[in-house]
Amino acid sequence: MSDTSNPYGGFGGQMTAQAHFGEAPAKALVGDTTTSGFAKDVLEESRRQPVLVDFWAPWCGPCKQLQPMIEKVVNEANGRVKLVKLNIDDHPAIPGQLGIQSIPAVVAFVDGRPVDGFMGAIPESQIRQFIEKLGGSNEADAAAEIAAVLEEAKGLLAAGDFEGAAQLYGAVMQAAPDNAVAVAGIAECMIASNQHERARQLLESMPAEMSAAVEIQAVLKKLDQIDEARKLGDPVALEHQLALNPDDHEARMKLAKIRSVQGKRDEAADHLLMIMRRDRTFDDDGARRQLLEFFDVWGAKDPATIQARRRLSSILFS
């Protein structure tokens, strides 16, 4: 655990990013084709991703203007589309079949069929708009991929695979350093691995605008509750106190805090709701305030939060 240069390292040395969002696949995005290769290079390939076919000729001045621009934009699109160039002088059959009468002409193929196109050496901005319309935006693709990785990491964390979850959260952090969900997820992995101080250091090292995120504040509150629970005594002794005196609300409050930290959320909520039923004035309605703090840490969608909130409402509005 001595690596201080990487704040989320240390989970078996595997915390380097395993995914690189938005990077181009390891294959050529621009190439040439022939009459005999058209079926494979265009029709077959377009069933995997959109393919642009640039019909050109060596004597065509506008073709020479268009090609550098369209190649640049296709490469910047990071694999969302491919570009295939066809010299109509050497291979006139395909453009003849498609009715290409002037060049440069670009035709987009999807699922083996022509779906769109343009003619002439249009500006780079229009080429970019054409490709974004055809293949979707990089930003949307990256956001969808990050969301999917975060959901997978959440599942691994819930299943107890802290190292696997940490790898995915770390990958998101490298792709999107300002993603508060990923930062909070890394901290949760650290907490689950008994690296509480390290988790706090990570969260407190975040910029102010990130520190204010709900996800990060929830984990900081969780750390505070863990620190407090360590000072509350032996839960077995507290259970014994309550067996002797069920109205020992102070002992019950302590036990609720300990059970929450232990992950026994329903039991923690039970204790606080019991205090509320017996004495709303205890600690100036402290049981209700403590339950709301639990909700912040557990999350609004947690089943324990949903159930306890319903029971809380029945007490407040009965």
N-term to C-term CA, the chain: 52
d(CA 188, CA 205): 15
For residue 284, count other CB atoms closer than 10 A to its CB: 8
Q: Under DSSP, is residue 24 helix (H, G, I), strand (E, B) or coil? A: coil
Q: Using DSSP, how many helices (H) and how many strands (E) does the chain show?
A: 15, 5
Distance of CA 228 to the CA centre of its chain: 31
Pairing type for strands 105-110 and 113-119 reads: antiparallel
Sheet holding 51-56, edge to edge: 30-32, 82-87, 51-56, 105-110, 113-119
Q: Annotated catalytic residue: which of 51, 52, 60, 203?
A: 60
Q: Are 106 and 74 in contact (CB under 8 A)?
A: no
165 CB-contact burial (10 Å; exposed 0-12 / middle 13-18 / buried 19+): buried
Which residues are paired to 109 by β-bridges?
51, 114
DSSP string, 252-289: HHHHHHHHHHTT-HHHHHHHHHHHHHH-TTTTTTHHHH
60 is catalytic: yes
CB atoms inside a 10 Å sphere around CB 117: 16
Q: What is the DSSP string of 94-120?
A: HHHHHT--SSSEEEEEETTEEEEEEES
What's the CA gap between 51 and 124, in Å, rounded?
A: 18
Pick the closest to residue 153 from 221, 90, 60, 215 (CA basis). Answer: 215
Given the residues 29, 53, 63, 153, select the one marked as catalytic: 63
Active-site positions?
A: 60, 63
